[in-house]
Structure formats: C-alpha cells, structure tokens
Amino acid sequence: MSIQAWTFLIVGLTFLLYIGIAVWARAASTKEFYVAGGRVSPLANGMATAADWMSAASFISMAGIISFVGRDGSVYLMGWTGGYVLLALLLAPYLRKFGKFTVPDFVGDRYYSQTARLVAVVCAVFISFTYVAGQMRGVGIVFSRFLSVEIETGVFIGMIIVFFYAVMGGMKGITYTQVAQYCVLIFAYLVPAIFISMLMTGNVIPQVGFGGTLAEQPGTYLLDRLDGLSTELGFDPYTSGTKSTIDVFFITAALMVGTAGLPHVIVRFFTVKRVRDARVSAGYALLFIAILYTTAPAVAAFARANLLETVSNQPYSELPEWFSTWEDTGLIHFDDKNADEIVFYSPDEETNELTIDRDIMVLANPEIAQLPNWVVGLVAAGGLAAALSTAAGLLLVISTSVARDLIRRTFVPDITHQRELIFARVAAGGAVIVAGYFGVNPPGFVAQTVAFAFGLAAASFFPAILLGIFSKTMNKQGAIAGMITGILFTAAYIVWFTYINPELNNAEHWWFGISPEGIGTLGMALNLIVALTVSRFSDNPPQDIQEMIEEIRIPRKSDPGNPPS
Amino acid sequence: MNNKAQQYWRQNLIYLASLLAVWFIVSYGAGILFVDWLDQFRMGGFKLGFWFAQQGSIYVFVILIFIYVWLMNRLDKKYDFDELEESEK
C-alpha cells in the first residue's frame, strides 16, 4: 500500500477511536465536565497529562531543534521535564486537597478576592489562547502534508474532531481520549527511533545507542564522530554549547516554572481521587514524558550524524531517495552555488548550498531509515495525536474559566448546574472557533508564542499559587500586586524585543544577557519580591483563610476521638 | 493536634528542601553551571556534563518524584493523616 493509503487508514482508525471514546465517556454533570468526576486513576491521569503536555512542538519540532543546536537544546529537555518536580512537590498535592475545579478558583478563594480571581481568569485564557493557536496550526500542517489537503482544510478537520470530544465529553471525554492519544504518539515516536538506533549503533534502546559506538565504524563513539564531522565543516562541536550560561540558566528556569504554572497541566491534578494519587500521578506523568524526552536527543544526534555523513560533500546525483522526496515539499533545498554538483554544507551563508527545515527531522526519520510505508502513516497519526490532545486540554481550560469562574463565580452566582453546563459547552465551542481562526490566519507571533505562554505562566500563576500554599501571611494585596507586576514586566520585555524592536533582539541589548525566552524567570522573581514586600505592609489574611491554608497542607485530618480501624 | 500538624509540615518542608536541592544540583549545577568542567570526564560515549544536560537530569527528576511519593506516604501514615480507602469511609 502507498504512504498515502496507509496514512488515511491509520489516521482514520485513530480518529474513530478518539470519537468512540468521547461518546462513551461523555459528561453528564458539571463535575464530570470540569474534573472528570474526580475519580480518574493516577496511571490514567499520568498518561493523559503526558499527552496533554506533549504538543506538536514536542513531537515534531523538538528533536529537530536539538539536532541543529546540539547541547544548547538541553534547555528544552531539562526545562520541559524539570517543571514536573516543582509541580509534584510544591503544587499538585495541595491543589488536590483544596478540591475545586480550576486555577482561578484557587487564586480567588485563597486570596478572598474577586479581583484576584479575575486577574487569574484573564491570565489563564490568554495563556491558553496563545498556546492553542500554535497547536491548531500544527494540526493543519500535518494534515496538509500527509493527506494532501490545503492547510485551511486541515485546520477545519482538526476543529471538528476537537469540537466533538471537548464539547461533548468535557474533562471526562478528554481524559480518556488523551490516554489513547498518548499510546498512539509514544508508539509512533519510538518505532522509527528504535529502528534507526539499531541501524546506526546496533543498539535497540535509543537512549543507550546515543552514547554507543557506530555500527559502521567499530570503536568510534557516535558523539565523537558527530563532534568531528561538525568541526570539519566549520560548525561548533555538537556536544558543546554556544549560548551564554546565564541565558541557558534563565531559559531553563522559565520553561520549568512555566510548565509548573500552565493551567491546562495544573487542572489535571484536580481529576484524581486523593492527595496521594495527585502525588504519584505527577510521577507517572513525568515518567511517560521522559520516555519521549530522553529519546528525542538520541533521535536528534542520529539524524544529525546521518545528515552530515550521507548528504554533505556528496555528489547530488548519488543522494538517497528521501532527500528528493523532501526536496519536493520545499523543506530541503539544494542550491548549487559553485555548480560542481556536490552538496556543500557549512555555517557560512556565502558558500552554504543546503537549506533544511528543522521540522523534517522527526517526520523524515522513517524514510531515512527506509522503514515500511505504514510507519510513515503512524508518525502522521502520532503528530496529530500530540497536537489534538494539547489543543483539547487548552480549550477545556478556556471554557471552564469562562463558564465557572466568570459566569458562576463572578456574574451569575445562582445559575443552575444544567445551565452552567450549557454555558461551558457553548464556551468550548466558541473557543474551538477562535482557535481555528488563528490556525487558518496565524498572527505573526505564533512562532514566539511558546516563549510568551511560558513566561507569562511563570511570572503570574506560579508565585501566586506557591505563596498561597507556603506562606500563611501572604494576603490579597501582595498576590494581586505581584501577579500584575510579573505579567506586565514579562509581557513588556517580550513585546519590546520581539514585536516593537526585533532588530535590537540580541545579547548586546538584553538585560543581563537574558533573552525574551528566559525573561519569565526574572518576572517571577519580581512577582515574589513585590508580593512579599506588599504583604508585609498590609493586613494578614482573615482567620478562616489561615485555617484553610492549614487544612490544605495535610491530606486528611485525623480524628483522635474516633481513630480509624 | 495543632502541634502534630506543625511537626508534619516541618518534616514535609525538610523533604522538599532536600529533594529540591538534588533537583537543582543535577539540572542547574551539573547540566548548566559546571557542564564544561564535567565534560572532561567521560561515561562511555558521553561527556559527563553533556549527559547530565540531555539525559541524566531527566532520569533523576523521575526518580525524585517517586522518592517523594514514598516519603510522603510514609509520613502520612506516621502522623495518621493518610486518606482512608473508599470502603473505610
């Protein structure tokens, strides 16, 4: 069967599966819609969190970026996994004990303030929309490449699928769909990685083959060969860094803290039954994420070595077949500047003849390894699973924030649960349409939105939640002042360097050499300082709030009069 | 009772501080601040600093969370704060 036929078949089958699950797990009550009834098993929640978290960026782009920047790519690897340690230790158990439905719920109740709740709703909706726009675009691109439809059509198909299971099923439908999507995406990622590892290093486990010796040159380590090839061509050695240490430090921290503060990840910990389930499910989530995140740098190194070895300095006519297939898509481009029919690849723009889109590294893998056609279809299905699961999780945060935090908690407190559920579904539907619009007409900033979403999450939510749990004296004045300072500072810095003065966006003009990607860390620090200072000079929170904080710090009150049997 | 909750919380904070110290050392320490120095040592085909930055720190993160889960479950039991099973409610 052709690649096209396999892709239709596998993508079609996985979609039937997702929709089937959505119908089976449709939500009947607001509690099922918002937090899947609060009884998801920790293992299932771990898988769902992993799928929720790993987006098209993780699946398609990350290995490609690492492949081109080598060790500097570690900011993504450590940044997007280390946040789970913060989440598991500092936030998840306490938010579960708090036991409501959303992040603004917590912020509003803990800081006994509608203003704080509104600030949190605005942050949640803004972060989610910037993030979801990129996902819908990703869905459109994968569809258009593998199903040969226009990007617009691809986005439209994606909208219908997401609409179906986010609007019908709510959190319950999304959770079980995401479990299936995790299985699809991890299988699709590992199959080609394992085959390539076997071909190049003779080792079945990519993580081990990464540090192993080459099958074709026994005794030579893959990474040493890669360093050698890179320097021969004038690139920096693969295993050394070029970014400044301070920038690497700040970017990693912003990604970690942003991960821990992203609303669609935090809400997943409201869906499990008990505090101890929340703790362990963060562990499962990171374990499932780590399977992909430790494979990615191996894939990156294999792909890089393969590219330098088989393409660079080779006669154009003798290149492998995958080169010409991807040339047709325009994502690889050979420009024979000196007309010698030999591919010359170099960091020097004057003489370099080869241009490669970073995103093809994962997508082209099956062809590079000459794997059967069905694997290509599988990778397409995996990329779609990654993008759709993240989009659905974000859309749910938007609809919950609107239906619950704006309508019930702020404007119409006496609304019935049935009507609230209708509002939640309408909001989810509206969010799908807006997200689809951004997918079709991407605002110029989609490429930079990831930095934006993470920086904002790091600078706004994380300190407010952290202080809300760990400081009994933190009051509403401090929290609101901190959130507003953190957000305004971070947004202003990013907007200044990426939209207003992009020509100044380099290390020379950055404050302390911190790039816009890493500035959320400084925003978070400012938030903490402002919050602590303001709260020192204003009243302590009321007694019932202090009791609530004591309450969320322990999983269950023991009852000395009636000890459990 | 109140005293018991305070002791529980204090022990929790000690666990958090120790685990987060390890978290900081493997990622920001080994993976970023001392990565070049560590690169002079090797582990098979990996330079050590590079390994921490791209693989090692992630493995340690996973292990840290499971250690935390184990420590806290034990602590919950010790202070009788552990949640009851459904049937015991």
Q: Is residue B23 included in any domain, yes or no?
A: yes
Say how far apart CA A55 and CA B56 lie, in whole Å. 23
Contact at 8 Å (CB) between A200 and A209? Answer: yes
| Prediction pTM value | 0.90
CA nearest neighbour of A464 among A257, A283, A235, A191: A257
Quick one: average pLDDT of B12-20? 95
Chain A residues whose CB is inside 8 A of the B20 CB are 85, 89
Q: Is residue B48 part of a domain?
A: yes
CA-derived radius of gyration, chain A? 24
pLDDT at position A448: 60
Task: State the residue for tokens 């791209």.
Answer: B54
Provide the β-strand partners of residue A213: A221
CA distance B48 to chain A (A): 10
pLDDT of res. A444: 57
Query: Following CA atoms A314, A319, A324, A327 in sequence, which dihedral angle do they give, to the nearest 10 degrees?
Result: -20
What CATH architecture applies to the domain A3-306+367-459? Answer: Up-down Bundle (1.20)
Report if residue B87 sits inside a domain: no
Q: What is the ipTM of this complex?
A: 0.93
- Give a yes or no: residue B8 inside a domain: no
| A84 has a chain B CB within 8 A of its CB | yes
Which of A280, A287, A294 is the closest to B55 by Cβ?
Answer: A294
Contact across the interface for A211 and B12, Cβ inside 8 Å:
no
Note which residues in 377-416 of chain A have CB less than 8 A from chain B: none
pLDDT score for A165: 77
Task: State the best of B62, B74, B80 to mutate against chain A, taking most chain A CBs within 10 Å.
Answer: B62
Given the structure tokens 């720190």, which residue do they identify? B57
Which among A43, A65, A75, A85 is the top mutation candidate for probing chain B, defined by the most B β-carbons within 10 Å of its own β-carbon?
A85
Q: Does residue B88 lie within any of the structural domains?
A: no
**Nearest chain A Cα to B72, which residue?**
A276
Region of A2 (left: φ > 0; alpha: ψ -120 to 50; beta: rest) is beta
In single-letter form, the type of residue at position A283 comes to G
How many domains would you assign to chain B? 1
Look at residue B32 and tell me if it is in a domain.
yes
CA A70, CA A430: separation in Å to the nearest integer? Answer: 41
Distance CA B18, CA A186 (A): 32
User: Mean pLDDT of successive 10-residue segments in chain A (565 residues)?
Assistant: 85 88 83 82 92 86 87 91 94 89 88 89 85 78 74 85 81 88 92 90 90 84 86 84 88 92 88 90 95 93 86 83 78 82 82 82 79 86 87 86 80 81 86 86 62 83 92 92 92 85 81 88 95 92 90 74 43
How close are the terminal C-alpha atoms of chain B, in Å? Answer: 21
Q: Scan residues 241-300 of A and list those with Cβ closer than 8 Å to B.
A: 241, 245, 248-249, 252-253, 256, 274-276, 279-280, 282-283, 286-287, 290, 293-294, 297
For B61, the domain range is: 15-82
Closest partner CB to B45 (pick from A77, A212, A564): A212
Contact A85 B55 (CB under 8 A): no
By the 8 A CB rule, do A282 and A268 touch?
no
Q: From the CB of residue A528, how many other CB atoms can be counted at a distance below 10 Å? A: 20
Put simply, whether A217 touches B (Cβ < 8 Å) is no
In a domain, B38, yes or no: yes
Please answer yes or no on whether A245 and B46 come within 8 Å at the CB atom.
Answer: no
Q: How far apart are CA A253 and CA B72, in angstroms?
A: 26
User: Who contacts A440 (Cβ-Cβ below 8 Å, separation ≥6)?
Assistant: A140, A151, A152, A155, A156
Which residue is associated with the tokens 């400044």? A244
- Give A293-319 as a 3 state SS string: HHHHHHHHHHHHHHHHHHCCCCEHHHC
Q: Which helix (H) or strand (E) holds A332?
A: strand A332-334
pLDDT at B21 over 90: yes
The C-alpha of A67 sits at a distance from chain B's nearest C-alpha, in angstroms, of 12
Q: What is the residue whose two structure tokens read 């299905």? A: A381
- How far apart are alpha carbons A41 and B86 in whole angstroms? 14
Which residues from chain A sit within 8 angstroms of residue B18, using beta carbons?
A: none
pLDDT of residue B25: 95
Q: Which of these, A201, A128, A208, A96, lies nearest to A434 by C-alpha position?
A: A128
Question: What do you get for the CA distance between the two ends of chain A, in Å?
Answer: 63
Give residue limits of the domains in chain A: 3-306+367-459
* pLDDT greater at residue A379 or residue B20: B20
How far apart are the C-alpha atoms of A24 and A11, rounded to whole Å? 20
Nearest chain B residue to A211 by CA distance is: B45
| Inter-CA distances, A45 with A190, A334, A444, A537, Å | 21, 46, 35, 42
B74 located within any domain: yes
